[in-house]
């Protein structure tokens, strides 16, 4: 069985994240979506809230029975090794993503050459979508319906309500 880790802060998970997960499921037998603690990013949602939102967002995902949602706080390659994963999946939206992700992939390869990094691009519809931008649009009262699952939209509204 080929297992991949799809790590991220998922603060919150977006339809772009879900699109990358769907693409990864075409390549791997099992996908572990792993929510990173990411305290350095000062997330809007707690780790537990982010894990719950990811789990609830899987409803419409083809192959969701092959997805497991976890969280992790340690070094990614150590976590991937503990999960017996063969790869780490990373989404790329723009050239700036590639530069950052490429550096991480090279460092991860130095730390554990057994774990490959696979870059996947979301559909063009989601190329400009990021969690940071979604939070800003929601904060300013904009419509985020096409960018996030309904449950995430509702949680954002609750969290950002005055």
Confidence label for 117 from pLDDT (cuts 50, 70 and 90): very high
Total number of domains constituting the chain: 1
Across all residues in the chain, what is the average pLDDT? 94
78-95 pLDDT per residue, tens? 999 999 999 999 999 877
Q: How many CA atoms lie within 13 A of 121 on its CB side?
A: 10
pLDDT at 51: 98
The CATH number for 32's domain is 3.40.50.620
Asked if residues 55 and 28 have their Cβ atoms less than 8 Å apart, the reply is no
Instruction: Give catalytic residue positions.
Output: 17, 41, 93, 131
Residues spanned by the domain of 88: 3-160
Q: Is the dihedral of CA 27, 112, 58, 132 positive or negative?
A: negative
- d(CA 43, CA 98) in angstroms, rounded, equals 23
- Which residues have a Cβ under 8 Å from the Cβ of 73 and sit 6 or more positions away? 36, 37
């Amino acid at each position: 069985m080929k297992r991949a880790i799809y790590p991220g802060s998922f603060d919150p998970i977006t339809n772009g994240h879900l699109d990358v997960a769907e693409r990864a499921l075409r390549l791997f037998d099992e996908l572990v979506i792993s929510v990173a603690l990411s305290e350095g990013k000062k997330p809007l949602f707690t780790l537990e809230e982010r894990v719950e939102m990811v789990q609830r967002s899987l409803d419409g995902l083809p192959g969701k029975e092959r997805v497991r949602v976890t969280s992790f706080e340690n070094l990614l390659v150590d976590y991937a090794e503990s999960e017996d994963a063969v790869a780490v999946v990373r989404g790329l939206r723009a050239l700036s993503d590639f530069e950052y992700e490429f550096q991480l992939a090279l460092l991860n390869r130095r730390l554990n050459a057994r774990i490959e990094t696979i870059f996947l691009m979301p559909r063009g519809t989601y190329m400009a979508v990021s969690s940071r931008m979604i939070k800003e649009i929601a904060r300013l009262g904009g419509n985020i319906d096409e960018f996030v699952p309904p449950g995430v939209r509702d949680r954002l509204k609750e969290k950002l309500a005055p």
